[in-house]
């Protein structure tokens, strides 16, 4: 419980600084905000959404042009530079917004979906793999861009690492407890190791698609689930 509360507080703290809160501002109490400020917040939200869409489309930060952001968002050069010092600052804001959203979505899904709570350890392991595969598919362009950029410059600053650590901090102890409740050797460290193997395979496939596992299709989820169950000696 304490760990869950701490994660929730971390999300709240980051969310206050994430640019995506601007898009929510107009929904919270529009009657209390001056029209000019409302328009400014809406413009900011449009630019952030445009940036995320363009990163997803190009899978490369270098191909995201400020002129395209302005055109896609339907805003102006002045509005852009009124908010962001340069393109790097803009990309950083888009990433913060996107990954705070992904972390919150992962927490909510795992917390609220009854399948995660009620299933067996084997079913839980399959859900972990499915969540990672689907998350990578939904954010394929974003993840490719992040991996290419931070892999070359600063791997430790990669926001995908933070996202993965947060997901692991929720599901690894939960799966270990399920395994112990079923009379198996529920080692959290073993769960984390096999999750690293799953994420590593997905990362390689996402970047290079070397085969025979392909990113599209059902085979990758099936094989990764089998690998995870076999490693943990799950039925």
**Treating both helix axes as pointing N-terminal to C-terminal, what angle do 87-112 and 159-181 enclose, rounded to 10 degrees?**
10
Which long-range CB contacts under 8 A does 156-163 form with residues at least 24 apart? 159/95, 159/96, 159/99, 160/99, 162/99, 162/103, 163/99, 163/102, 163/103, 163/106
Per-residue pLDDT of the chain (235 residues; tens, 9 = 90+): 444 445 445 544 544 444 444 444 333 333 344 445 667 789 999 999 999 999 999 999 999 999 999 999 999 999 999 999 999 999 999 999 999 999 999 999 988 888 888 889 999 999 999 999 999 999 999 999 999 998 777 778 899 999 999 999 999 999 999 999 999 988 999 999 999 999 999 999 988 887 788 888 889 999 999 999 999 999 9
CB contact set of 167 (below 8 Å; sequence gap of 6+): 106, 110, 131, 132
d(CA 210, CA 220): 12
Find out whether the peptide bond into 212 is cis, omega within 30 degrees of 0.
yes
On whether the CB atoms of residues 126 and 225 are closer than 8 A, the answer is: yes
**Treating both helix axes as pointing N-terminal to C-terminal, what angle do 87-112 and 121-138 enclose, rounded to 10 degrees?**
150
Write down the pLDDT at residue 86.
Answer: 95
d(CA 59, CA 33): 36
Domain boundaries, the chain: 17-88, 113-232
Write down the pLDDT at residue 12.
Answer: 46
Residue 201, both tokens? 């395979």
What is residue 120's three-state secondary structure? coil
Write down the pLDDT at residue 34.
Answer: 46
Residue 12, both tokens? 């709240």
Residue 185, both tokens? 């050797």
Write down the pLDDT at residue 213.
Answer: 83
d(CA 127, CA 109): 11
On whether the CB atoms of residues 227 and 197 are closer than 8 A, the answer is: yes
Write down the pLDDT at residue 103.
Answer: 94
Write down the pLDDT at residue 9.
Answer: 53
């Amino acid at each position: 419980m304490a760990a869950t509360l701490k994660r929730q507080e971390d999300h709240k703290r980051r969310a206050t600084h994430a640019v995506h809160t601007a898009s929510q501002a107009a929904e919270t109490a529009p009657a209390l905000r001056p029209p000019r400020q409302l328009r400014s917040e809406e413009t900011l939200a449009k630019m952030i959404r445009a940036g995320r869409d363009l990163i997803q489309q190009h899978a490369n930060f270098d191909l995201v042009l400020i002129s395209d952001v302005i055109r896609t968002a339907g805003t102006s050069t002045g509005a852009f530079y009124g908010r962001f010092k340069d393109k790097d600052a803009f990309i950083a804001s888009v990433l913060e917004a996107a990954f705070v959203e992904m972390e919150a979505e992962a927490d909510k899904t795992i917390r609220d979906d009854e399948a995660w709570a009620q299933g067996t350890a084997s079913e839980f392991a399959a859900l972990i793999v499915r969540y990672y595969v689907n998350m990578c598919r939904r954010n394929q362009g974003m993840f490719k861009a992040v991996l290419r950029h931070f892999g070359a410059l600063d791997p430790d600053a990669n926001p995908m690492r933070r996202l993965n650590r947060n997901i692991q901090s929720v599901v690894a102890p939960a799966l270990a407890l399920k395994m112990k409740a079923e009379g198996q050797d529920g080692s959290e460290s073993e769960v984390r190791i096999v999750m690293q193997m799953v994420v590593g395979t997905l990362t390689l496939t996402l970047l290079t698609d070397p085969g025979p596992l392909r990113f599209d299709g059902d085979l990758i989820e099936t094989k990764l689930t089998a690998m995870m169950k076999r490693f943990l000696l799950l039925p």
